[in-house]
């Protein structure tokens, strides 16, 4: 899967984790992977894009085949192996017609989780976003939601998946009341409307309910543009919810990374999808609170850039909330 961004410098935080070279994987693990594939690895090119603190490489085997390998060990981030296991389960269960690279093999040994996937000859969307590429991705999101509604696999609901996460405004308000955080870093508009944001956030679970399988983490670095289709990669956060959820989740990163009239285009797309405007705003408020609160936490091990990325997404989400609510 070609994950190198075809981007020029944008000045926005990059979606980048601490990548591990394939050759840094323990030799016993590499040997097991090669034995399972039936051919040694000839070359492995590490791919940029995405936050996984592990291997993400396009691999050429000695017999000429190409595969994409993701691998992670217990260090530096102990939570990432669990995400790789979840991705393996979900990817293996998705319909063969879904625009998702096929899982060829998953191995779990010596604390390492290795996923071998179909290699896709594609590129990440250009940054800043180009209008035609954004329209392709939004159209693909619509097609995917139709294919996956109702969900063809067992998966947690969005409430179960994100219920503990989407309490940002409540937690920020509590920190302010307890004098643990004066919120001086927060946008004055958000501080002024904190009570409203807390109240609205509490309704997000009902607003996001639905029967579709959603990706849960749709962004430019989880999309590959191939000649004939848009492929969606990295599925550990999949959940069952509103069919439009992924577009709302992707929106802040699109706005942050730059796109012509991004908010207007996203609003028009969601309206055409039949998404209830109040539900969209409610879910967006919950996401903004999540991103902003997370941005002031200590960075997790192996993910040094994620807080800056979350801060930028949170500020973009807040701009979109302000535009949609027209609160003063």
Task: Give the contacts of 9 (CB within 8 A, at least 6 positions apart).
Answer: none
| Average pLDDT taken over every residue of the chain | 92
Q: Report DSSP letters for 85-128, one per residue.
A: HHHHHHHHHS-TTSSSPPEEEEEEETTEEEEEEE----BBPPSS
Radius of gyration of the chain, Cα coordinates, nearest whole angstrom: 20
Helical axes 168-177 vs 194-201, angle rounded to 10°: 140
Beta-strand pair 55-61/41-46: antiparallel
Between the alpha carbon of residue 58 and those of residues 3, 23, 34, 325, the distances in Å are 9, 13, 14, 44
Share of the chain above pLDDT 90, in %: 85
**Hey, what are 110's tokens?**
């010596």
**Hey, what are 7's tokens?**
């981007």
Q: How confident is the model at residue 23 (pLDDT cuts 50, 70, 90)?
A: very high
d(CA 316, CA 291): 10
List, in order of start, the domains of the chain with CATH numbers: 22-118 (3.30.200.20), 131-325 (3.90.1200.10)
- pLDDT confidence of residue 260: 86
CB 71 within 8 A of CB 52: no
CB 161 within 8 A of CB 207: no
**Hey, what are 112's tokens?**
């390492």
Which alpha helices (H) appear in 155-273, and where do they start and end? 158-162, 168-177, 188-192, 194-201, 204-208, 245-257, 262-272
Share of the chain above pLDDT 70, in %: 94
Which H or E run includes 318? Answer: helix 306-325
What are 214-227's pLDDT values in tens digits? 999 999 999 999 98
Q: Is the pLDDT of residue 2 over 60?
A: no
- pLDDT confidence of residue 7: 36
3-class SS of residue 217: coil
Average pLDDT of span 44-71: 89
d(CA 46, CA 4): 9
d(CA 59, CA 71): 12
Higher pLDDT, 207 or 18: 207
Residue for token digits 């409203």?
196
Which region among 17-21, 41-45, 55-59 has the lowest average model confidence (pLDDT)?
17-21
Q: How confident is the model at residue 6 (pLDDT cuts 50, 70, 90)?
A: very low
Global confidence as pTM: 0.91
């Amino acid at each position: 899967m070609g994950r190198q961004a075809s981007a020029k410098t944008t000045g926005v935080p990059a979606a980048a984790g601490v990548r591990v070279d394939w050759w840094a994987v323990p030799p016993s693990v590499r040997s097991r992977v090669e034995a399972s594939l039936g051919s040694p690895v000839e070359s492995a090119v590490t791919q940029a894009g995405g936050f996984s603190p592990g291997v993400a490489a396009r691999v050429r085997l000695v017999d000429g085949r190409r595969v994409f390998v993701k691998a992670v060990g217990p260090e530096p981030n102990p939570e990432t192996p669990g995400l790789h296991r979840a991705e393996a389960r979900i990817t293996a269960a998705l319909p063969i017609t879904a625009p998702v690279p096929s899982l060829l093999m998953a191995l779990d040994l010596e604390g390492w989780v290795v996923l071998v996937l179909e290699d896709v000859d594609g590129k990440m969307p250009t940054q800043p976003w180009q209008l035609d590429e954004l329209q392709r991705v939004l159209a693909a999101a619509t097609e995917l939601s139709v294919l996956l509604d109702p969900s063809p696999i067992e998966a947690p609901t969005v409430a179960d998946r994100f219920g503990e996460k989407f309490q940002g405004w409540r937690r920020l308000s509590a920190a302010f009341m307890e004098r643990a955080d004066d919120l001086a870093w927060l946008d004055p508009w958000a501080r002024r409307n904190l009570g409203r944001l807390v109240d609205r956030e509490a309704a997000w679970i009902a607003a996001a309910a639905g029967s579709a399988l959603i990706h849960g983490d749709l962004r430019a670095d989880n999309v590959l543009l191939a000649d004939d289709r848009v492929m969606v990669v990295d599925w550990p956060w999949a959940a069952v919810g509103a069919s439009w959820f992924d577009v709302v989740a992707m929106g802040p990163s699109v706005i942050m990374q730059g796109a012509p009239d991004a908010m207007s285009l996203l609003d028009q797309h969601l309206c055409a999808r039949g998404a209830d405007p109040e539900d969209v705003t409610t879910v967006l408020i919950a996401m903004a609170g999540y991103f902003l609160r997370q941005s002031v936490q200590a960075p997790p091990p192996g993910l040094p850039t994620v807080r800056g990325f979350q801060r930028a997404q949170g500020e973009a989400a807040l701009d979109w909330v302000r535009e949609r609510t027209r609160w003063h």
